[in-house]
Amino acid sequence: MTTDKDRRARENADLIRRMKAGETLSLVAPAATWWPPRALIKKDPGEVARVYGDVTHGTVVIYPISQAGYAALKSSLDNSEPRTPAIPE
């Protein structure tokens, strides 16, 4: 009769043997979980500027905003105090 302790000991010994042999320990083949890479979409900078306004300093604006609104938002973010987390780390 095999006990759970014996079964675990056999499984652990098998695991150690596979680790030493350099075998993969994954239960699912990594390729089975991969998503295909996304296609690169080239954007026309003129159209992006027309739709989203002036985007400078690497800032990405994800909704249409006027030049004045963007300037006010950027100014308020630049002048704000650093935020502290609500939950202490």
Question: In this structure, is residue 52 part of a structural domain?
Answer: yes
The DSSP string of 37-80 is: PPPP----HHHHHHHH----TT----S---HHHHHHHHHHHHTS
pLDDT digits (tens, 9 = 90+) for 9-45: 999 999 999 999 998 888 887 777 787 777 777 877 7
Residue 65 lies in a domain: yes
Report field, pTM of the whole predicted structure over 0.85: no
Total domains present in the chain: 1
By residue range, what is the domain housing residue 51? 39-80
- Tens of pLDDT along 53-73? 665 555 555 556 677 777 777
Q: How much of the chain is helix, strand and coil, in % rounded to 5?
A: 45, 0, 55
Residue 63 lies in a domain: yes
Residue 56 lies in a domain: yes
The contacts of residue 65 (CB under 8 Å, 6+ apart) are: 52, 53, 73
Establish if 89 belongs to a structural domain.
Answer: no
